[in-house]
Amino acid sequence: MNETSLNISIREVTKKYDQFYALKDVSLEIKSGEFMTLLGPSGSGKTTLLMVLAGFTNPDYGSVKFGDEEVILKPPHLRGIGMVFQNYALFPHMTVEQNVGYPQKLRGVSAAETKRSVEEALNTVKLEGLGHRGINELSGGQRQRVALARAIVFKPKILLMDEPLSALDKKLREEMQIELRQLHDTLNMTTVYVTHDQKEALTMSDRITVINHGELMQLGTPNEIYEHPNNHFIADFIGESSLLPVAIRDGKASLNGEKIVMAEKAEKDGDYLLVVRPEKAFLADKKVKGSNYFSGKLIDSIFQGESQLLVVKLNSNDDGQEVRVRVPNESVTQKALPEVGQTVSIGLKVADSYVVS
Amino acid sequence: MTIVEAEKLNQKGLQKVAANERFTFFGLTLPYLIMVTALIVIPVGWLFYLSFIGRDGSFSFENYERMMKSKAYIRIFITTFKISILTTIICAAIGYPLAYFMSQLSRKWANICMIGVLIPFWTSLLVRTYAWLVLLQKKGLLNNMAIEMGLITEPIKIVHNTTGTLIGMVHIMLPFLILPLYANMRSIDKDTLKAASSLGATPTRAFWTVFFPLSLPGLLAGLLIVFVLCLGFYVTPAILGGGRVIMAAMKISSNIELYFSWGAASALGVVLLVVTGIILFIASKLVSMDQLGNR
């Protein structure tokens, strides 16, 4: 714990609506100063968890501690958190300055100090000089920044963000992801960020919590989550992947009868799914040791700028399982690309071959 | 050397399409334009003309002069404004909390409440006014009940006076306040209140600094509609006022029906129209006109 941030300790938080659990026994430790992303599809409970932290949703039971202090019974206005909403929730009847100064006014901060802190916050989000503008005169990106300035002006120790970038166009969103991350590193407050965009989560977070059906599925660094997904839901949700059915009998793995070599031995026999990331699969001219190979017919070849996406239908597979292969756009590889309809051989290094249940 | 502009690709044809579109739009507004001209512009013009015709049939200001001098007329104007202002204030005091409550409900329950607001709104004005008479009169339901319960010994006079008029008018005007106000409150982003609260505002503080200012356009629109409708109200004050509450519209009617004085009636109508116009003008400076309708 330090002066600018607080750790958050969530224990057994449960919220049930009729027959369905929005949150089911969720326990999570968020470190002080950490950028934690709650990632999940819509309806997974990630926003509900954020609302529990903010105090807008009361769980059926469970505990939420900021530092050593239990806050679950505290109303939102006493929790001292900064929050950025999905649609910004700016006050349309106030100017930029008044919006950002609002929390300071509530705290009885002097006019001079408010002015100084508002200017500082606006500088931080690169909106200097726009203080007198009305909210309706701002672009989406600028509104986003005002919402951010308003949430950090009183230097909260915890910052909550609910899909703050979802309304922005792709390019601006990607810029803001990096800016938000830099801002977090400068201000060093504990940040809890909700998103359904896995790429955003990978880009920004110290750690990611994947949530589905109100339950925690996996907690880890972006690298751990991407490279070692716990189950097929995460393997499918994070990044692009093709999941191929693999049977493991007597510790030996096979894909539709053909033997494949895994990076790690499976603990138990059973049916698993092989995770093939498009960027890890490659086109193979000749077979060398240390890789698994699958042959199939190229059914689609899509130019995507920085890479070419190849869709291959496996020969050995009865239900026509498709594998995607991403070939980086280098002048040499582009020329050598196979034609649609050709039979191709796809390689996957043993080190990259792992299964999920 | 002059350059002759050659016709660009399809230029003439596209111009014709644009002209056709304009013509269609004009055509669609035509029935309404005719109606407004026939039923409003011409009669109002005629009204203006009549108000400047004296008893001897020549042009004069006598109708207006009489209005300025006569104590009776001044009293009528005072009554009209007093009743209108009081009705508007009471409507706001009752309607604002109700509209707020409805705006916080789920759509389903809000619609059920809305039916409660609209059913009286759809019932005939006359029926509702007489119903109030039945309820409020000396041997009416309310007095009888109060006497039987021992709350009072003598019936109280709550109708055929200002009180009765106000009760009836508030009841009739309330939906006109609630409808625009509710529409406005619904459009307020609930997250702004959450934001205020996360930033440290108590619920009361959040209401007064965020919700109330954002509901002002709807409130002003509602107040304005109620006030303007009250100024020209006739039926309810005539029945529930029992002849003791005389508003401008009633005087217009009696001028025509009793005294056949079209000039005096017209002058009164013109004054009412001008006052209403001025109020609308001032209000339009405060709220943009498109907020007067339900958005």
Of B194, B199, B203, the CB nearest to A102: B199
State how far the alpha carbon of B96 is from the alpha carbons of A212, B90, B138, in Å.
42, 10, 32
> Per-residue pLDDT for A332 more than 70?
no
CA distance A80 to chain B (A): 7
Residue A200 and residue A178 in contact, taking contact as beta carbons nearer than 8 Å? no
**Res A67: pLDDT:** 92
Q: Which residues of A touch B198 (CB under 8 A)?
A: 54-56, 76-77, 79, 81-83, 160
Of A83, A92, A107, the CB nearest to B198: A83
Round to whole Å and give the CA distance between A181 and A4. 16
CA distance B205 to chain A (A): 9
CA distance A236 to chain B (A): 33
Of A91, A151, A160, the CB nearest to B192: A91
DSSP state of B60: -
CB contact under 8 A, B198 and A107: no
Residue A5 and residue A33 in contact, taking contact as beta carbons nearer than 8 Å? yes
**Pair of tokens at residue A67:** 């530092």
CB contact under 8 A, A54 and B196: no
Round to whole Å and give the CA distance between A311 and A300. 5
Total length of chain B: 295
> Per-residue pLDDT for A123 more than 70?
yes
pLDDT, averaged across chain A: 89
Q: How much is the average pLDDT of A171-180?
A: 90
Write down the number of H helices and E strands in chain A.
9, 20
CB contact under 8 A, A79 and B198: yes
Q: How much is the average pLDDT of A310-339?
A: 78
Give me the phi and psi of A116, to 5 degrees please: -65, -45
**Res B197: pLDDT:** 95
**Number of C-beta neighbours around residue B177 at 10 A:** 29
DSSP assignments along A117-178, one per residue: HHHHHHHHTT-TT-TT-BGGGS-HHHHHHHHHHHHHTT--SEEEEESTTTTS-HHHHHHHHH
A172-176, A259-263, B43-47: least confident range: A259-263
CB contact under 8 A, A85 and B201: no
CA distance B33 to chain A (A): 35
Q: Which residues of A touch B191 (CB under 8 A)?
A: 85-87, 89
Round to whole Å and give the CA distance between B219 and B213. 10
A160, closest residue in chain B (CA to CA): B198
CB contact under 8 A, B197 and A87: no
Return the HEC string of B212-252: HHHHHHHHHHHHHHHHHHHHCCCHHHHHHCCCCCCCHHHHH
CB contact under 8 A, A81 and B194: no
State how far the alpha carbon of A44 is from the alpha carbons of A222, B37, B110, in Å.
19, 60, 28
CB contact under 8 A, B195 and A81: no
Mutant choice from A51, A58, A85 vs B, greatest count of B C-beta within 10 A? A85
Q: Which residues of B touch A87 (CB under 8 A)?
A: 189, 191
- A253 in helix, strand or coil? strand
Of A55, A83, A107, the CB nearest to B195: A83
Domains of chain A: 8-227 (3.40.50.300), 240-356 (2.40.50.140)
DSSP state of A280: T
State how far the alpha carbon of B271 is from the alpha carbons of A105, A326, B92, B106, B236, in Å.
48, 80, 26, 45, 21
Q: Which residues of B touch A102 (CB under 8 A)?
A: 196, 199, 201, 209
Of A87, A106, A150, the CB nearest to B205: A106
Q: Minimal CA–CA distance to A160: which of A275, A308, A307, A5?
A: A5
Q: Which residues of A touch B213 (CB under 8 A)?
A: 93
Of A75, A79, A89, the CB nearest to B192: A89
B202, closest residue in chain A (CA to CA): A77
- pTM for this one? 0.81
Q: Which residues of B touch A66 (CB under 8 A)?
A: none
Mutant choice from B106, B184, B193, B198 vs A, greatest count of A C-beta within 10 A? B198
Interface residues on B facing A, Cβ-Cβ cutoff 8 A: 189, 191-192, 194-203, 205-206, 209-210, 213-214
**Res B157: pLDDT:** 87
Taking chain B (295 residues) in consecutive chunks of 10 residues, what is each chunk's mean pLDDT? 72 92 92 92 90 84 85 89 95 96 93 90 89 88 88 86 92 94 94 94 94 92 92 90 86 85 87 88 70 40
User: At residue A346, what is the residue type?
Assistant: I
CA distance B143 to chain A (A): 48
CB contact under 8 A, B195 and A90: yes
Strand order in the sheet with A215-220: A82-84, A158-162, A190-195, A35-39, A207-212, A215-220
Of B191, B198, B214, the CB nearest to A93: B214
**Res B295: pLDDT:** 34
- B153 in helix, strand or coil? coil
**Number of C-beta neighbours around residue B131 at 10 A:** 16
Radius of gyration of chain A from its Cα atoms, rounded to whole angstroms: 24
Domain boundaries, chain B: 61-291
Of A79, A80, A89, the CB nearest to B194: A89
CB contact under 8 A, A77 and B197: yes
pLDDT digits (tens, 9 = 90+) for A130-157: 889 999 899 988 999 999 999 999 999 9
CA distance B211 to chain A (A): 9
**Res A64: pLDDT:** 95
Total length of chain A: 357
Give the domain B61-291 fold.
MetI-like fold (1.10.3720)
Strand order in the sheet with A343-349: A282-283, A343-349, A291-303, A307-314, A322-328
